[in-house]
Structures are given as structure tokens and as C-alpha cells.
Amino acid sequence: MTRVIIVRHGESTYNTVRRIQGHLDESELTQKGKNDAVTVGRAISNISFDAIYCSPLKRAKQTAEIIHREIKANVANLDNIPPLQSTEKLKEIHLPLWEGMLSLEVKEKFPEDYKLWQENPHKLRMLIQNGKTSVEYFPILELYKQAEKFWQEILPQHQNQTILLVAHSCINRCLIQAANQISPGYMQHLHQSNCCINILNFADKVQIESFNQTQHTGESLPSLRPNHQGLRLLLVRHGETDWNQQSKYQGQIDIPLNENGKLQSEKLAEFLKDVSIDKTFSSSLLRAKQTAQIILKHHQGVNLELNDGLKEIIHGLWQGKIEAEIEQEFPGELQRWKETPENFQMPNGESLQQVWQRTIEVYESIIDTALTNKLNTVLIVAHGVTNQILLCHILGLPSQNFWNFRQNNCCLNVIDYPKGKNGLPLVQAINIKVKG
């Protein structure tokens, strides 16, 4: 497996005033940007890297240099630290007509194009003068191609290694999208905070282990966008059970949390204690219900609504068995489930399509109710399969991409609807693992 850690640069002088940067190399890190870069370096200093790449633009290169310095300061053998390599393929998006302008100025001067950028960024077109002729240029599509070329070039060089990339908001999103077959049109569905950490695993399938983690910078949850007027959704997987610990397939067998699962839930409850929650929905299975109840100890009076539609997939004859037993009784079936989940049905259980349909129906109903009633924050506690389905749905992925998302026990995902019912969902974080 090749592991890739992707970091966005620290806060820059242009970020503070919301000025479009793109290829411009005038802005530098603020003191906060430098401080956050230090925390990133310390947070990942326990990882042994085989290569470190960065964008050549100043704000990313400064961030990478600080991270590189911190990694060196925290290891005994400097011979094991790879050099910092700059590559043009990690440069930020090129927005030639907008660079240097404030976002507000772009919105006022190019209202239609700005709206397109926000809602359908892959359709944004700019005409660039090349001598006496105008050349048609699609910034996001070009950046997406750049990301694809980067993976094609870099991955063969680092098979079964761990590499670090330090770059920018848009190129980071395109790297993650291209790796996971997420359409370029979904770029505005993903967010990158300054100095956030993302982790991708490349094996038989690509997996997002972690997305837009910000805890190391002191920001527990990614901040709401300016002018946020919609809903924040906190999507949680239940805590650990004995069957999780033993790697047994649970499905809809009603197994309670074990002591570690309760401890995980307590840590998440502490993490969320200062977050205002308006309503909570949970799978009716005991392990999810218990997780929700523990979280709500800090939120007295918040209604908990149980919903059968959020239950885990029925594993049928696999329930209660570990993989070795399943392989012995149903040879080759596990491999089919992992390789082509979209065409698979558990023996005497559910197909992924059946779970997909009931999960999305419940989710859309919850979102519609929350937005109609102008709720600010809603908590949903469910299961690995249901959460992975929801992340696919939000990012426009079909069921064959079901395995692209890791969901650890008691992890937290954050999805915002910053513009309410008429706006796009924004994935703020995936698989936050609360430490305590």
C-alpha cells in the first residue's frame, strides 16, 4: 500500500483578505500560518516519509520548509529524512483574469462567471489572449488533468511507500478527486482549511482515510464558511463492540458497545460538548443508540429519534462469522464483495443497492426536515456501510466506489449546507478520530 499525506499551506497574507491567489507568488505566510505549519510538522513527525514534495509557490514552499524542519527536529537519524522536492504539478489553479482581485470584486465584476465557479466550477471558461488570438481555457478541467498526471508520474515511483505533499486548496481537492474518481464538477463540495491534513491509501482500491483534519491547529471542527446560513450535519459511526474487536460481521445482530466503545463515545461526547446540537437521529440498533445517548449526556433536552432506515446492512448468513469462516463456507464471495460491491448480495441478506436506497431516502428526509425547520446542527449516528453510502451520495459517486471511504469506530464526518436548501452540500471533514 502507498500512503499519501496531503497538506494545504498555512494562512497567507492573501487568505486574510480573501484575495484570489492562483499562480500569483506575492503572498507569504502570516505568523499564524507559520505557527500552524509548526503544528503540522509536529503532528506528523512520527511518520517515516520516503519522499516529500511541494508546490514551488512561496506560500506552500514556506509551509513545506517549516514542516520539513520540524520533522528533522523530532527524529534521531537525519539520514532517514528525504529532501524537499519542488514540482510544478503541485502548483495552484491558474485563474488569469481573477488573480490579485478580492473575491468580492470578482463577484461584482464577473457575476455570472462567479456563480458558475461556485455551482459548476468545471464549466468555468476564460478567454486568454495568445498574441492576436483568444484561447479558450477551462481552469478546473486543466487542474484536474494536472492532478491526474501527477498521480501517473509519482505513484509508480513510490509503490508501498509513504509520501508527503504540501500544496494548495484547489490542487489538493483535484488530487483527491482524481484519485477517487470524483468528478471535477464536485470541487466545491470539498473544503480544504489552511494547514489541514488529508490521508489517502493506494492499494487495490483508493481509500480516503482522513480528510481535512484540523485538530492539530487548535480548530476542533473546520470553521463555518463566511455568511453560513444553513445546516451543519455531524455524521458519526457507532463505537466499538466486541464483535468489531473480534472482526465478526455484525449486520443487524443487536450487539451493544463494549467498554472501549463506551470510552470512544465518551471522548467524542467531550469533543462535541460545546457544539450546539438541535436534533439527533440514530439507527435503532443498540450500538448506535448507545453512542448517541452518551454524546447527548452533554446536550440535555435534545430529542433523539430512532430510525430503522439507518440500520446496518443485513449480512445474512455471514453474521457472527469472521472472514476466515466466511471464506471457508462461501469461497470467493468475500473477494466479490470487496471488488464489485455494486453487484453483490449477501447470502440471505441485503444487496448494497437495497441498503443504498433506504439509506438515501432517510437521509434526504432528515436534511429536508432540518432545512425546512431551519435547524443549525443535526447529529446522525449510524454504521460503517450507511456512512460510506452517504459520502458516496454527497460526492456523486456510484456504488462501485463504496470502499473509497474509511469509517473507524466512533469517527466523525462533517457536512455543511452553507446556503440552505438551495445550496450545495460541502464535505468539511471525513473520519475524524477523536483523541483523548
Active-site annotation, residues:
238, 312
**Phi-psi region at 335: left, alpha or beta (left = phi > 0; alpha = psi -120 to 50):** alpha
Q: How big, in percent rounded to 5, are the helix, strand and coil portions of the chain? A: 45, 20, 35
* Angle formed at CA 276 by CA 287 and CA 219, multiple of 5 degrees: 90
Where are the alpha helices (H) located in 330-381, listed in sequence order?
A: 333-339, 352-372
Cα 110 to chain center, whole Å? 30
Please state the separation of Cα 391 from the chain's center in Å. 9
Helices (H), 27-132: 31-43, 58-73, 103-109, 111-119
**Which residue bears the cell 505533499?**
165
d(CA 305, CA 185): 34
Amino acid at residue number 291 = T
